[in-house]
Structure 1
């Protein structure tokens, strides 16, 4: 009996993008659900590239389609609207061969059960080929369609980082490199680079990070040498700096207060033998922490609980180190999580600020005298970073800002800010707070 045909990759991508851009779904969740439908690794890679680039560029090409169509399609034909956006992405961003991209996108309309829309899809993409220069100039004249980012975020970046705004906005629209973290318990970075070379996978060591390997091209990580055995994990280089800034040593009692998916917990344990407690509020994300620990051959106590309510779970023994990877706008990781720009609103920041303050206030008493608390966000907004940390320091006489000086980024109030694109890293903020001894 013949196997059923695999889904049309572009049609599947259109379904995914419509869910993400028009219905508010998470790109991670949508891709996790749809990717297994494609048996071929190349098709899975194309699906991810289309969806990520489509979400990253949505605010540009959604506006472009409004200018090119006599009647909007996003309500009556949302999947075709998404497919058209993906057609423009293929021509303009991914720069796929025009003939193949147009033909395959037209075919995807038929695969979606919309054969009558095939002619429209063809006409729109052909018009872009003819009039692309003029249409791009129109889009570039407006900030939102130029940067494919919401106006509130563009304004915030310009306000907070006036000298860096242009490069920060541009960096958010570039594909993030695939960066690995080599598990020190399993071998050295140099030895793993040798294994990649033997497998003809181009990669290099990140010059500023001890455990990071940057791949030249994205790939299915599950097929990398040693991935299933826990020899490496995927983690952006900026996140890998957390293990350095915690100033860890064997035997310390450490709390990772907002731990999912567990990357920072695992990195700390790869470096040192620790008494590690990983706390995560979202019950649906707790299994991911345990899966990562198991694959990497590491051990930690994992607890589903609200880190901001320690009376419900703390045993009274102080921690030598506390990591607060606080919930935030994720404005520093737009290149890696492009759907954030579609879902986050300016009005979300106040609620996030309340959580950030609550975590600091609730967890500070759990830190031992002489201990270190590292406050981290993947945000580039000052409202979530130094504006949170500076008042906390002023209100706590036993707290002091410890110096941070990294080879990338810049000082930001009592902490340090890496902006998106610095050393080709994501945008993260760090503040190291020491508790004075009595």
Structure 2
């Protein structure tokens, strides 16, 4: 059956393509990638497609996501190949996205090369009046004919072979001279799927057994974490809707326990959405928690997650930098400052970040982080502790940021974490990249 957009969305319908066809998946994924090229986030692009075409099957959604994520991980490769095969860059962005998605599939599914090309040409015939159908056919068939020479070209180009922008590669190499290659390689892999057991409703063993019985084997991570051997849709996991566990990266699960929260404390989660760390704090201790976020819509996700887990917090929509205006005279015993950052430690979950970020963005993030730290410090009680967290791998947002803050504040003591002044988790098979630093306000 041809796929049409829902009536609620004023957008031209995709020309009729069979709902279960590869051509449809290639076309929609190409449109999503084109949106990213024009500055739209991958998450927003996918959400827009799901709203526009609600009748897409679960299988088609999965195929579109795989193509979109894979293409963006390999974006540098496609850029190099297209520069060799096109006389000039395409101005029709949907067709450009289609070519990038198709080149990714040709590389990952070489056994289906001819089917892939035929389906891409069928999709191209229904884009912008079909005027670029011949060009798409010619580029893709040339890519197959020149496969070996193009592979050598890719190998010789750092951006294409390492699948990161050149500025990103150099910054990681400078910051992590020993680990840089393994970091970039980890960034290009599929991310693990980890769970955090809600200790107020289940034990780790109970969740392991329930998931195993449903065909989802796991292995334990620490006392309350689990890693699924194979990622699965959360709706397919028994116990999720009942609030027995949450989906949370194992690295992110390190934050709440380090905050050293006890019953009765007044706690602030300053940049809370989507609420995973706030929920973890409430699972650990009976405390009075305020969850803050500047985006009211994202704050609703915090409410939804807490409701599912049977937890409660005070929710406030406010920019953390303005907190002193709202909480004059009040003080918190503990503050979690999971600040906005480059997200360079989680790019395997958000591959568009690599290509949307610019080198000067890092300084902009560092400025906002410094402002948030200053504001939060003013509402931290004497003797209280603040945990600074980023999912960044760049020192400007991490160690340098904290060193500068501590130097400005004589009432700040850096509390050791596992014998070091800070904790840096580099992305690996079990977790994403995170930076954590615990600060205490002197009495």
Same fold (TM over 0.5): yes
Provide, for residues 193-219 of structure 1, a one-character-per-residue CA deviation record: whole Å limited to 9, x for no partner: 22222221243223xx33322223333
Q: How does 1:39-438 map to 2 (within 5 A)?
A: 39-73=56-90, 75=91, 77-93=92-108, 97-112=112-127, 115-206=130-221, 209-314=222-327, 316-405=329-418, 414-421=421-428, 423-437=429-443
- Change over 3 Å in CA distance of 1:3–1:109 after alignment to 2: closer
> Would the aligned equivalents of 2:321 and 2:375 in 1 still touch at CA under 8 Å?
yes
Is the deviation greater in 258-267 or in 174-183? 174-183
- Change over 3 Å in CA distance of 1:222–1:135 after alignment to 2: same
- Change over 3 Å in CA distance of 1:296–1:109 after alignment to 2: farther
> Would the aligned equivalents of 1:45 and 1:219 in 2 still touch at CA under 8 Å?
no
> Would the aligned equivalents of 1:90 and 1:96 in 2 still touch at CA under 8 Å?
no
> Would the aligned equivalents of 1:250 and 1:272 in 2 still touch at CA under 8 Å?
yes
Match in the other structure for 2:14: none
The structural deviation recorded for 1:91 is 2.5
Q: Secondary structure of the equivalent of 2:243?
A: coil
Q: Distance in 2 between matches of 1:164 and 1:278?
A: 36
Provide, for residues 243-270 of structure 1, a one-character-per-residue CA deviation record: whole Å limited to 9, x for no partner: 1211222222110111111111112112
Is the deviation greater in 344-353 or in 397-406? 397-406
Provide, for residues 120-178 of structure 1, a one-character-per-residue CA deviation record: whole Å limited to 9, x for no partner: 43443333334323212212212222222222211111111111111111111111122
> Would the aligned equivalents of 1:276 and 1:300 in 2 still touch at CA under 8 Å?
yes
The structural deviation recorded for 1:59 is 2.1
- Change over 3 Å in CA distance of 1:3–1:122 after alignment to 2: closer
Q: Distance in 2 between matches of 1:78 and 1:370?
A: 56
Match in the other structure for 2:27: 11
Query: In structure 2, which of residues 37, 46, 52 is the aligned counterpart of residue 31 of structure 1?
Result: 46
- Change over 3 Å in CA distance of 1:392–1:94 after alignment to 2: farther
Q: Distance in 1 between matches of 2:211 and 2:64?
A: 24
- Change over 3 Å in CA distance of 1:95–1:374 after alignment to 2: farther
- Change over 3 Å in CA distance of 1:365–1:177 after alignment to 2: same
> Would the aligned equivalents of 2:324 and 2:379 in 1 still touch at CA under 8 Å?
no
C-alpha RMSD over aligned residues: 2.3
The structural deviation recorded for 1:405 is 2.1
> Would the aligned equivalents of 1:53 and 1:93 in 2 still touch at CA under 8 Å?
no
> Would the aligned equivalents of 1:308 and 1:363 in 2 still touch at CA under 8 Å?
yes
Q: Distance in 2 between matches of 1:272 and 1:134?
A: 60
Aligned residues: 425
Match in the other structure for 2:36: 20
Match in the other structure for 2:15: none
Q: Distance in 1 between matches of 2:357 and 2:199?
A: 37
Match in the other structure for 2:12: none
Q: Distance in 1 between matches of 2:399 and 2:440?
A: 16
Is the deviation greater in 35-44 or in 142-151? 35-44
> Would the aligned equivalents of 1:238 and 1:427 in 2 still touch at CA under 8 Å?
yes
